[in-house]
Copies of this chain bind each other. A is one copy, B any other.
Amino acid sequence: METQNKKDLAHARTKASFNITDMTNYLHNGPENVEHRRYIIDLIAKEPIFQKDDWAWLNHTDAVNRGVAMSTRLAEIIIENDLNDLDFATCLEAIDDTIPILLHNGAFIPVINSQGTDEQIEKWIPAAQKFQIIGCYAQTELGHGSNLSQLETTATFIKETDEWEINSTSFTASKWWIGGLGTLATHAVVQARLFIDGKDYGAHVFVVPIRSLEDHTPFPGIEVGDIGPKAYNGFNKMDNGFARFNKYRIPRENMLMRFSKVSREGVFTKPPHAKLSYGSMVLLRSVLIKQMAFHLSRATTVSTRYLTVRRQFNNPTSRNDADINPGLETQVINYPMVQNRLFPMIAQAYALFAAGSVMMDMYIRLMTSMSNGNIGALAEVHAMSSSLKSYCTTIGAAGAEECRKLMGGHGFSYFTGLSHLFATIVPSNTYEGDNYVLTQQMARYLLKEVKVARNDPEKSGADPSNEKTWSDYNIECYRVSHAHAQYILTLWFIQSIREAQSPENDDERRIEPATAKVLERLSHLHALHTIQTNLADFVEDGYFSPAQCSSLRAQVKVLVASLADDAVGLVDAFDHPDFLLNSALGASDGDAYKRLWDKAQMEPLNKKPVCDGYEKYIRPLLKKHGEVKL
């Protein structure tokens, strides 16, 4: 049946001023990548175990069991198709949830590869790649997350037997939040403070066998389990786990020794550069920026499509489709308030796509130069990834929730798909460095650079005076770091559009003029809206006069209105298939009400005409004070 909903979305699609395929190629870096991404998503979409129809009803226990089954099938798919790390990330994007295998490929293997010696890599990695062992990464404890140097898990060298004794020295030493540890992992890379002869050498990493390869039972001396449900049902299929070690012994060679080393005699050797292991943090944060592009583009896709088919009230003067649909109410997306909330987020999603690509390139260049022993760029890239991680995950999570609220009443249904999305994104605001704590990295770096620029080298190092500490300037650090992230995001977005128009590109990579035109509007909107959101800072520092504030607000409105015909095309260009969106209200055919109805019919309560509690609870209440006829 051709519902009005479907007609409305189809009609809106015809209005785009640019070629959607051309835009998709820009976003995903060329047609080969677009095709490859679709191919990988389809590997997942066609498998029964990855279907999402019953997710709304899984509690944590059932969800983890599902996550285990999904994990093992994903492992097989990786081997069958010889997938690389980028493909693995695309698989997870299509799967659309965290599952227990995530940290095996996402942390266990990379940490061994980067911190293990060649012999250790040879020992562990082939087995890990064939999933003969499955690993996780155990850093956080009940009592410590950010402050690595105060972890309470210890690894004490036992010279007599050439072993480490791994011990949870207190209740709060329990490892906590460890993805994969709750049910699946056979091994963990464990962060523990290294002790030799009573001396503390700080946190180091050790490969620790957790469960028997014979029958999967935890080894004696290890207490291990799942930490239970998370906020908003987020990470529901992930077996975030806990572990306590009771003087548990592992061989000396299970310490990863590419950097620090401990000899048979118990002699500790420091690494040449203390910060060599920062690389993996930079990677994780860079990946998060790319993920936010993906998340916010999904959220705006769902919201834009639904608001195009939703009609409410009649606004006689706003942009409307009264030419073809006289007598119908106004499409909600045609209200200026809605456009002014939604379109800046579409612009942000585009900016995030550009930032994700640039940041990842920057990381790859850093790794190349570091592998040649050159750590000159580390400080800047580390500060950049920290600052952008903090800002981008903040706007990503807030944007997903704003897109949900834009959908009004129906936005509170599970079947928007956006509550699941928010629940998946929002922990990124507090993990891999809390978004507030993290901003100190960029603030420190900028202060150092300012001092260098002022040619004041003896005072560089950015140490505060004796009276005040960094903590006393945390608010200022946060403001400075986010402002810098906004600047970088704006800059990279504009650069990305310029590069995409460069005559040096081959034809397939060069965008069409119509594409460039709408991208330029988006980049202007992104820049001006970002300023508007932080307007006080600009006025306070004299960059804007009060009169200019009002011009700015007017110009934001003009830019927003200019994107009205392109909105559906802009979100279509993100190229997120319905399988991935998993949204009744945001599906590509626009049939929102029909799909919402169909989803409701899946509710198990509706299988019976009278609910389970009737005889036991409802009937006795209704009859308690006698019968009535009404």
Contact = CB atoms under 8 A, between A and B. Distances in A.
A602 interface: yes
Interface in A590-630: 593-594, 596-597, 599-606, 609-614, 616-630
B540 A628 contact: no
Given A536-B539, A606-B225, A413 B132 contact: no
B594 A171 contact: yes
A156 interface: no
Given A536-B549, A539-B536, A602-B228, A609 B409 contact: no
Interface in A542-570: 542, 546, 549-550, 557
A259 interface: no
Nearest to A315: B471
Contacts of A430: 405, 408-409, 411-412
A103 to B, nearest CB: 15
A147 B373 CA distance: 66
B337 A471 contact: yes
Contacts of A624: 76, 130-131
Contacts of A410: 176
Q: Which of A123, A418, A546 has the most CB of B within 10 A?
A: A546
B60 A56 contact: yes
Given A65-B613, A142-B596, A429-B405, A413 B227 contact: yes
B408 A434 contact: yes
Contacts of A593: 142-143, 171-172
Contacts of A374: none
A377 interface: no
14 contacts: A57-B61, A61-B603, A69-B617, A143-B593, A145-B409, A183-B613, A213-B629, A213-B630, A315-B469, A316-B469, A335-B471, A337-B471, A340-B475, A409-B431
Interface stretch (A191-199, A215-223, A281-289, A292-300): A215-223
Contacts of A226: 600, 603, 605-606
A147 B618 contact: no
A144 B408 CA distance: 11
User: Nearest 6 pairs between A and B by C-beta?
Assistant: A231-B419, A337-B474, A535-B536, A183-B611, A229-B414, A68-B613
A246 interface: no
A142 B233 CA distance: 26
A232 interface: yes
A404 interface: yes
Contacts of A478: 337
Nearest to A174: B597
A622 B213 contact: yes
Interface string A119-139: 000011001001111100000
A423 interface: yes
Contact of A59 (B57, B133, B335, B549): B57
A171 B595 CA distance: 12
A415 interface: yes
Interface string A225-262: 11111111111000100100000000000000000000
A625 B231 contact: no
Contacts of A147: 312-313, 329
Given A56-B229, A474-B335, A593-B172, A132 B217 contact: no
A344 interface: no
A328 B57 CA distance: 44
Contacts of A630: 123-124, 127, 133, 187, 209, 213
A325 interface: no
B134 A622 contact: yes
A623 to B, nearest CB: 8
A332 to B, nearest CB: 10
A184 interface: yes
A200 to B, nearest CB: 14
